[in-house]
Structure 1
């Protein structure tokens, strides 16, 4: 418990003082049913930024035949750390759909001649914030809504939670722990200790990544989600774009992080690649106002599959160039 107390203090100290003590900043709270106790504050938001972001895909038909294409573009959601003010599509989608995880997508029916290309996308105005959850083990409840537990602890092809290697890690790290927050921290620490960042333009499943010892941000997510789900902690991911330089800035790499569900708190951000680069628990329960979420998902979505920006279906050979362009951040 001493170690966890130190972690809690470090997390609080990592938050800028104007976020914690500025009386013009508001503590956000909400009620969660089935809980014996609802804490008076759950997270702090500060440093509001007004942003204008464009997302666009350049779609090329590299085949010798005409391409009939169904395209799905993720529609950014409003979340505790971001508020969507306005969105304009170019061109207008044929329809708006919603997948099994509640993520909305813009659906396009396209036809391209051989070597023809076109651009589809959107322009958005939003507010984004730094956010820091005040995470304390004794504030975490026990009740997980059945729909969340069923949907976000199930297996998936990139997780393989029943793999003996995944099961062995969970038994060795968290088998005797009952508090979900402490269990999540222990599994987080295991991933940080055993993985290093590597980008190779492909995604492997969680057991492969953990055995290999390195992975991209998506593979870190698959590994941590697999361990959390195997340990009974609901987990999903959030994908989006990160502002690495002041606008105008084009992002073609994108980023993915984990969200874990803690009773009394809801969905908590955990970004392990940032924890590896900064310090061990900096991004456990923290979200920067330089990150803008394009979507949230739990696995192979019926529309987005395992991607976190767009997905295309066609028998023809396509080339897709995706870019998020930050125009304003002020």
Structure 2
């Protein structure tokens, strides 16, 4: 008998857990069965039946494994199973898994879904979702595919749902027109399949998403010296995707996490200095649509709090900072963080209000060494947008232009945008500088946002995690809508494009928003800013950044 699970939390409810099938290497498609999920493992050719409560796994095609190698899509209608392999679509029955050819495409077929007498097939090469008549195998029509990666499909009523491996996104489309209703970011990279399953306890639909990839790990090799070595292994699993779409505000939230973030400075100067009447200011996390603050407390030394340009700042005060003195001080915050994706189209911004005058003065100015008066930057600002007049298309074209011109590389210091653009290589901060300069020269208000990303390992609950680097991205302002996020460089994943749009008007759950358009950390002595050329924070202290993922959260009204 199934127990009453309605009052259980996400981790206590067995229907809302990560499913790790036995023996699976790379799941590339899943489909709903009566009391389980059917999945296909493209690496091993296994057609698997998976118990959602126990992970019990059965191979349904023990004599036909070779027939299912490299299969990348899966759909189940009655007792008939549909899948894609190479450039063809096949069907079979669960009782007899001998593949029967249905149709072939000029290019590789990726995902498949079935609705009554129609077959939907995704094809990355054409950028389309092709629709066939089930009886005649003739193409009826085709829809635009929403992303740039390999896509898999499922259907729920009048909606066509699409996963995209590169976009790290699930799209909800109108099944008839292909129009995107909304999209949500997945909590893990490389989603490869999706299926709705009805919770037998509550009657609610759970959207399960499969993932496949590799993960690094430290291998203990007794034949090597030293015996520890870096290796990679297959990683595949199924996890529920929770989401909430706010149609009025035009954004969707998906899988969130309760995290504890600490930012602590350890006073350890390279050269002993003495500062009097010192204020050490550190920005605090920000409240947004996707980030909520439950609690903030001090670490080491209490602080007072001030509001600077609408942002919360912790102020640590020292009457005298003497040579040889040592302190630990900072803050610890308990945060709810979600993935967010806005769904605003160019049509929505054809007629937007004028930019407020105070925004023009502040967010269109060269106020951070943006080199906006240099010839290379001014020419780039013109070249980036061409003849485009729509504000949303402008910023999208600017992003793609910068991705065309820059490649990612880490440097010990940040150069100005003209230097970075001429060099063709930049860090996240240098990408950001070029984006800010080109956008502002084109009349698009924008600002810097950061500051850290939690290591994206939600399976490591309660384990202290430290980011390798700090990070910055940007927000641009759409009059009538507000500030929208855009990543600096993570979507620049292909040389020459096409570039994914996962973080264009979107952020993953692991972004920690701290201080918008203000300096993250600064010093004041006797009421005046401390000259960075003489004394830098990096010369005075060592920072310690720590995250702990405490539990997974579910948006309301899933």
What corresponds to 1:194 in structure 2? 405
What corresponds to 1:16 in structure 2? 170
Q: 1:134 to 1:294 in 2, by over 3 A?
A: same
Q: Does 1:45 align with 2:253?
A: yes
**Of 199, 222, 228, the match for 2:433:** 222
- Whether the 8 Å CA contact 1:177–1:183 is kept in 2: the answer is yes
What corresponds to 1:254 in structure 2? 470
Specify the SS of the correspondent of 1:26.
Answer: strand
- Whether the 8 Å CA contact 2:484–2:505 is kept in 1: the answer is yes
Shift, 1:200, TM fit: 1.5
Q: Does 1:287 align with 2:507?
A: yes
Q: 1:8 to 1:192 in 2, by over 3 A?
A: farther
Q: 1:109 to 1:324 in 2, by over 3 A?
A: same
Q: How does 1:122-141 map to 2 (within 5 A)?
A: 122-140=331-349, 141=351
1:41-63 per-residue CA deviation (whole Å, 9 max, x = no partner) reads 51101112111111111122333
Q: 1:316 to 1:225 in 2, by over 3 A?
A: closer
Q: Supply the distance in 1 between the matched residues of 2:379 and 2:306 (Cα, whole angstroms).
A: 39
**Of 76, 79, 91, the match for 2:288:** 79
* Superposition TM-score, scaled by structure 2 size: 0.51
Q: 1:9 to 1:135 in 2, by over 3 A?
A: farther
1:155-205 per-residue CA deviation (whole Å, 9 max, x = no partner) reads 124212232221111212225211001111111011111111121121111
Specify the SS of the correspondent of 1:61.
Answer: coil
- Whether the 8 Å CA contact 1:252–1:323 is kept in 2: the answer is no
Larger Rg: 2
Specify the SS of the correspondent of 1:16.
Answer: strand
Q: How does 1:1-330 map to 2 (within 5 A)?
A: 9-10=146-147, 14=167, 15-16=169-170, 25-28=243-246, 40-68=248-276, 69-90=278-299, 91-93=301-303, 95-99=304-308, 101-110=309-318, 111-140=320-349, 141-143=351-353, 144-246=355-457, 247-251=463-467, 253-277=469-493, 279-297=499-517, 301=518, 304=519, 308=520, 310-313=521-524, 314=530, 318-330=539-551
More divergent stretch after superposition (137-146 vs 70-79): 137-146
Which runs of 5 or more residues in structure 1 are unaligned? 30-39
Specify the SS of the correspondent of 1:80.
Answer: coil
Q: Supply the distance in 2 between the matched residues of 1:65 and 1:228 (Cα, whole angstroms).
A: 41
1:235-285 per-residue CA deviation (whole Å, 9 max, x = no partner) reads 111112112253420125211001111233321111132101374322111
More divergent stretch after superposition (310-319 vs 271-280): 310-319
What corresponds to 1:33 in structure 2? none
Q: 1:17 to 1:97 in 2, by over 3 A?
A: same
- Whether the 8 Å CA contact 1:251–1:323 is kept in 2: the answer is no
1:138-161 per-residue CA deviation (whole Å, 9 max, x = no partner) reads 011421233223321111242122
Specify the SS of the correspondent of 2:403.
Answer: helix
Q: Supply the distance in 1 between the matched residues of 2:245 and 2:357 (Cα, whole angstroms).
A: 29
- Whether the 8 Å CA contact 1:8–1:135 is kept in 2: the answer is no
Shift, 1:65, TM fit: 4.2
Higher relative contact order (CA 8 A, sep 6+): 1
Q: 1:168 to 1:26 in 2, by over 3 A?
A: same
- Whether the 8 Å CA contact 1:87–1:124 is kept in 2: the answer is yes
Q: Supply the distance in 2 between the matched residues of 1:129 and 1:235 (Cα, whole angstroms).
A: 22
Q: 1:7 to 1:244 in 2, by over 3 A?
A: farther
Specify the SS of the correspondent of 2:327.
Answer: strand
Specify the SS of the correspondent of 1:192.
Answer: helix
1:99-153 per-residue CA deviation (whole Å, 9 max, x = no partner) reads 3x32221122223332322111111111110101113100114212332233211
1:220-245 per-residue CA deviation (whole Å, 9 max, x = no partner) reads 11110110000000111111211225
Q: Supply the distance in 1 between the matched residues of 2:535 and 2:146 (Cα, whole angstroms).
A: 55
